[in-house]
Structure 1
Amino acid sequence: MIELKSPSEIEAMRPAGRFVASVLTALRDAADVGVNLLELDALAHRMIRDAGAESCYIDYHPSFGAMPFGKVLCTSVNDAVLHGLPHDYRLRDGDLLSVDFAASVDGWVSDSALSVVVGTPDPEDLRIIKATEDALAAAIAVALPGNKLGDISATIGDLARANGYTVNTQFGGHGVGRTMHGDPHVANDGRAGRGLKLRPGLVIAIEPWLMRTTDDIYTDPDGWTLRSADGSRGAHSEHTIAITDGAPIVFTDRGVA
């Protein structure tokens, strides 16, 4: 069921967006060679506790997860491309790290993700990160009242292909509100002019994610982490936004966190 938020509810969602953005900024700054993924998870956990927020991940157990997630972050490294379960791993020079984080503040959720290279970057890693960031920015730019959901999806898919990447559509964006995942599903590829008409009050997470040389994935033995089928690296970018009468509101914009 798709629920449109009132102007007052949109305003009430802003603190969650600012908080999620601030946590991702802190995690990006903390990620360095030798830092353990469990240390990053602990940092986010402390920030949640200090802010009086609530984790959306720790007890999360959808049908595709082997058990409740148990951590407050997704930390996906190199060929781990989504839902990376934090574990005892110290980041190495050149690792590509994607961090996905969602939290609830005063009952409202925001969800966001970023990718960074730790230490010495491989140009191809920087290129795929930029492709996801550019796709996200372009998708947000067409998230306007009167446009269709397919315009967002087609924008992501077209930009991915223009950069030489194929698109996996098993996982994508989603509605956001009192819970982390709701309707509608926001695919990372589609046909322009098709699907749900965008209306003010619709709040969605848009999340392009790409892999270098495949669009196939498999589930790691940990029951959560999704890896590229051919071992190639992936990147992930995400913001939670609201459709308005004008330009969309980007709740998780780290520039205003």
Structure 2
Amino acid sequence: MSISLKTPAEIEKMRVAGRLAAEVLDYIAPFVVPGVTTGELDRLCHEFMEDVQGCIPAPLNYAPPGYKPYPKATCISVNHQVCHGVPGDRQLKNGDVLNIDITTIKDGYHGDTSRMFQVGDASIQAKRLCEVTFECLWLGIAQVKPGGHLGDIGQAIQAHAENAGYSVVREFCGHGIGAQFHEDPQVVHYGKAGTGIQLRPNMIFTIEPMINAGKAAIRELADGWTIVTKDHSLSAQWEHTVLVTESGFEVLTLSAGARLPPEWIEGLGRS
């Protein structure tokens, strides 16, 4: 496994790309209303990235080994869709919850982030799943520091999700990121503290827990991309891109509209 440590110049480019990705989510939030299609949301994000930000949407035509090219600029996963939902004609309705996943390319470097959105009045159960998943994200981020291990992140996320009665998707994980969309290391969202790769300053990776209200089992739809829960239970995901600093971490995908972390989580004062 070859993990690249980013240079100061690369880190600065990653800060820009990360902020721009977050600002796409700020922009699209008012459009997430009953009746809008996921395809329309994708079109708006795509135009904003290209025409306003001067970015390239990384998912468009992305084709890892074994996959056909991804056809859209964003991933939009609704209700029981876990990840990689392909935007299309689906109209959002009151009570839906959805994840919008944005990855920008700016000056050759990637910024990757996602948020959950609620359409109108979501159920108490859906709101709780979204909230616990958000807490899982920040509990994982709080473990990031030089000398720590990837297992610290996974253990914190898994423990919180399972204590709430939820399950962690294991087939998909966070990843290193930089000039490439997906780099080493893989950042799994379960595990044992003190195990796995040791964290070093200037590593950059995503943390993006996918938490299911039911069982962890998933399946792929016929489009070759969209992943859903096998038991049709709701799924939620939040994502940030994180830099390991000399003293802790820096979240690179923050913006004016990004939600602040839960105040009760310890260890988030580092920068």
Separation in 1 of the partners of 2:38 and 2:3? 35
TM-score normalised over the length of structure 1: 0.96
* Corresponding residue for residue 37 of structure 2: 36
Residues 115-134 of structure 1, C-alpha deviation per residue, up to 9 Å, x if partnerless? 12101110111111111110
Runs of 4+ in 1 over 6 A off after TM superposition: none
State yes or no: 1:147 paired with 2:165.
no
Q: Is the 8 A contact 2:26 2:257 kept in 1?
A: no
TM-score normalised over the length of structure 2: 0.91
Matches within 5 A, 1:49-68: 49-50=50-51, 51-63=53-65, 65=67, 67-68=68-69
Separation in 1 of the partners of 2:146 and 2:133? 23
| SS state at 2:9 partner | helix
* Corresponding residue for residue 212 of structure 1: 213
Percent sequence identity is 38
Residues 54-99 of structure 1, C-alpha deviation per residue, up to 9 Å, x if partnerless? 111011112353x211101101111111100001111101011111
* Corresponding residue for residue 122 of structure 1: 123
* Corresponding residue for residue 74 of structure 2: 73
* Corresponding residue for residue 112 of structure 2: 111
Cα–Cα, structure 1 residues 256 and 121, in superposed 2: closer, same or farther, change >3 Å?
Answer: closer
For residue 102 of structure 1, what is the amino acid of its counterpart? T
State yes or no: 1:188 paired with 2:189.
yes
Residues 204-244 of structure 1, C-alpha deviation per residue, up to 9 Å, x if partnerless? 00001111111011111111100100111111100001000
State yes or no: 1:246 paired with 2:247.
yes
Q: Is the 8 A contact 2:13 2:106 kept in 1?
A: no
Separation in 2 of the partners of 1:129 and 1:233? 10
| SS state at 1:40 partner | helix
Residues 101-149 of structure 1, C-alpha deviation per residue, up to 9 Å, x if partnerless? 1111111101111112101110111111111110111111110111111
Q: Is the 8 A contact 1:24 1:101 kept in 2?
A: yes
Separation in 2 of the partners of 1:151 and 1:32? 38
Of the structure 1 ranges 4-13 and 209-218, higher mean CA displacement relative to structure 2 is found in 4-13
For residue 17 of structure 2, what is the amino acid of its counterpart? A
Aligned length: 256
- Return the offset for 1:254: 3.1
Separation in 2 of the partners of 1:189 and 1:212? 16
Separation in 2 of the partners of 1:8 and 1:69? 30
Separation in 1 of the partners of 2:65 and 2:12? 32
Cα–Cα, structure 1 residues 208 and 40, in superposed 2: closer, same or farther, change >3 Å?
Answer: same
Separation in 2 of the partners of 1:54 and 1:143? 29
Q: Is the 8 A contact 1:18 1:256 kept in 2?
A: no
* Corresponding residue for residue 261 of structure 2: none
Of the structure 1 ranges 189-198 and 8-17, higher mean CA displacement relative to structure 2 is found in 8-17
For residue 152 of structure 2, what is the amino acid of its counterpart? D
Q: Is the 8 A contact 2:23 2:257 kept in 1?
A: no
| SS state at 1:47 partner | helix
Q: Is the 8 A contact 1:200 1:245 kept in 2?
A: yes
| SS state at 1:241 partner | strand
RMSD of equivalent CA atoms:
1.2
Separation in 1 of the partners of 2:206 and 2:86? 21
* Corresponding residue for residue 131 of structure 1: 132
Residues 27-46 of structure 1, C-alpha deviation per residue, up to 9 Å, x if partnerless? 22211101111111111111
Q: Is the 8 A contact 2:103 2:112 kept in 1?
A: yes
State yes or no: 1:18 paired with 2:19.
yes
| SS state at 2:95 partner | coil
